[in-house]
Amino acid sequence: MHIALLGNEQDPQIQHISHALFASGHTPFIVNTAFFGTHWQLSYDPDYDDGLLHFDYHDHLPSNRIAMSNIHSVYWHQYERPIVNAMSSQHKNWLASEHDSALMCWLHYSGTRWVNSIDAVRAHQCKPHQLRAACQLGATIPYTFIGNAPRVAKQFCNNMDDVIHKPVRGGKTAVLLRKENDNLHHVSSLVNKHPITLQAFIPGTNIRSYVLGDDVISVQIDSRAHDFRDDDTARPLLTPLPKSIQQLAKTLCKGLGMKWCAIDWRRNNKGEYFFLEANPCPFFLRVENEIRVDITGRLLKLLTDG
């Protein structure tokens, strides 16, 4: 059974999944999108709705090529834009877009089980859409402003106590702005440069739930940092969730078009859970190693079933 792993060959999580699949008798192969056009290519027939991935060399594919229809599933860990060389930045951007568009022939191929799909990944990158969808599925979110309208941003901050600011798309950690420090000038400066997300700060506890099909594994992450991703000393602790929140986590994962995900919650002092985001390609290896719960086996089941 051929299973593709989308990511960098040197990434520890990709290597871990690859070794686990080999140990279970399957045939994984790594596909690094950064090298599309240099170390590997594709050919696609839209009328036949199939194509081939061609590799200059791949030690896990006997003929150095494989039909899209022969790839049982794909584990999506990381997409990197193809590396292109050009004399001008304008031509370089055009070439990169051409490579991206050609890759869509494979990334949108419906004959493969995607864990997770490009649609789920893009929905995560569009945080406003994901927040709205989560609300419609029954989640509670913090009071939120998204945009670059200075007056509305100031009014939002005036109506809140402390607020968190973070990027609209993601890629950077959240920063706490305390009302007592009069951060309106800082907010105005940010909004004048680019759109931002502002959310009411929820005092409480960080909870992360890994949802894998019908299984929900949750950890509490205590940290002095306002975003635990900034704290190398933060340690996960296995924690139970109320049944209603476990069911909500499964509903969110499925409703957001994912086979698996990591949901970040903020639990306040009243025990209420606030949805922050659902990541379709989360890191899990450190959590698995520290809490000794088998996330890998559950992920392999999603990749090899059906």
CA geometry: angle 183, 172, 225, nearest 5 deg: 65
The predicted model gives 110-139 an average pLDDT of 94
Q: Does domain 144-200 have CATH number 3.40.50?
A: no
C-beta separation of 53 from 68 below 8 A: yes
Residue 88 has pLDDT above 70, yes or no: yes
pLDDT at residue number 189 = 78
Residue 93 has pLDDT above 80, yes or no: yes
Structure tokens at 153: 């941003």
Q: How many CB atoms lie within 10 A of CB 300?
A: 21
Share of the chain above pLDDT 70, in %: 94
Fill in the amino acid letter for 20: A
Residue 230 has pLDDT above 70, yes or no: no
> What is the three-state SS of 224-250?
CCCCHHHCCCCEEEECCCCHHHHHHHH
Task: Give the Å distances, CA to CA, from 44 to 3, 68, 105, 204, 304.
Answer: 19, 9, 7, 51, 25
pLDDT at residue number 214 = 93
Residue 17 has pLDDT above 70, yes or no: yes
The predicted model gives 9-26 an average pLDDT of 96
Q: Which of 143, 80, 131, 77 minimizes the C-alpha distance to 263?
A: 131
Position with higher pLDDT, 136 vs 158: 136
pLDDT at residue number 306 = 61
Residue 171 has pLDDT above 80, yes or no: no
**Residue intervals in the chain for CATH 3.40.50:** 2-115
pTM over 0.85? The answer is yes
**Residue intervals in the chain for CATH 3.30.1490:** 144-200
Structure tokens at 42: 């594709």
Share of the chain above pLDDT 90, in %: 72
- Residue-wise pLDDT for 257-274, tens only, equals 999 999 999 999 999 999
Residue that has been written with the tokens 């927040």 in this structure = 131
User: In which band, very low, low, confident or very high, does the pLDDT at 193 lie, cut at 50, 70 and 90?
Assistant: confident
**Residue intervals in the chain for CATH 3.30.470.20:** 122-139+204-304
- The CATH T-level fold of domain 122-139+204-304 is D-amino Acid Aminotransferase; Chain A, domain 1 (3.30.470)
Q: Would you tell me which CATH number, out of the four given (2.40.70, 3.30.2010, 3.40.50, 3.60.21), belongs to the domain 2-115? A: 3.40.50
